[in-house]
Amino acid sequence: MEDLGELRYFLGIEFARFHKGILMHKRNYALELLSELGLTASTAATTPMDYNIQLTSRQFNEHVKKNQTTNDLIENQVAYKKLVGKMLYLTMTRPYIDFCAQTLCQFLQDPKKSHMEVELRVVKYVKGQPVKGVLLSSNSGNRVSAYCNADWASCPQTGRSVTGYFVKIGELVAF
């Protein structure tokens, strides 16, 4: 057996130790994603997704008879699907973009240009603070906190409620 020293990089996650604890982040991955998409010169977004945006599927639009244009669909659906997968991988150290990534996953079958615009906005939001990650605090306690939220009938396609929850053990915080 050989001692490899202090952990710095494992499975694409970078680790940084300091007095508050251990910070897990994916700075290099986020910067590579920005350069791959050609967004290094763009301005960073202040929020990951517009609060009032109503994303709908192509089938829903055809059923309701609004925005019934074929120009709205993306020609290269593979690029959309790859970007959603990369965003899902990024959520391991950035839980605050998880809702956006899961929302965009609902439209993998027939993505539209509006979905791609939201996806690029999330990446621009990541550009604002590429070193953000999860802090594993050295002052952890045994306290368990749970939070939940429900938005009644907010899904425009199905009319179902959207529910989310977050469980916190000790002082695990997004940094």
Strands 21-25 and 133-137: antiparallel
pLDDT digits (tens, 9 = 90+) for 52-65: 888 888 777 777 76
Based on the number of CB atoms within 10 Å of its own CB, is 33 exposed (0-12), middle (13-18) or buried (19 or more)?
buried
pLDDT digits (tens, 9 = 90+) for 20-46: 888 899 999 999 999 999 998 889 999
Rounded-to-integer distance, Cα 151 and Cα 157, Å: 14
pLDDT digits (tens, 9 = 90+) for 81-134: 999 999 999 988 888 888 889 889 988 888 889 899 999 999 999 998 888 888
User: pTM for this one?
Assistant: 0.78
Rounded-to-integer distance, Cα 68 and Cα 71, Å: 9
Rounded-to-integer distance, Cα 174 and Cα 132, Å: 8
User: If we measure between CA atoms, which residue out of 80, 72, 172, 78 comes closest to residue 123?
Assistant: 80
Q: List the domain boundaries for the chain.
A: 9-138
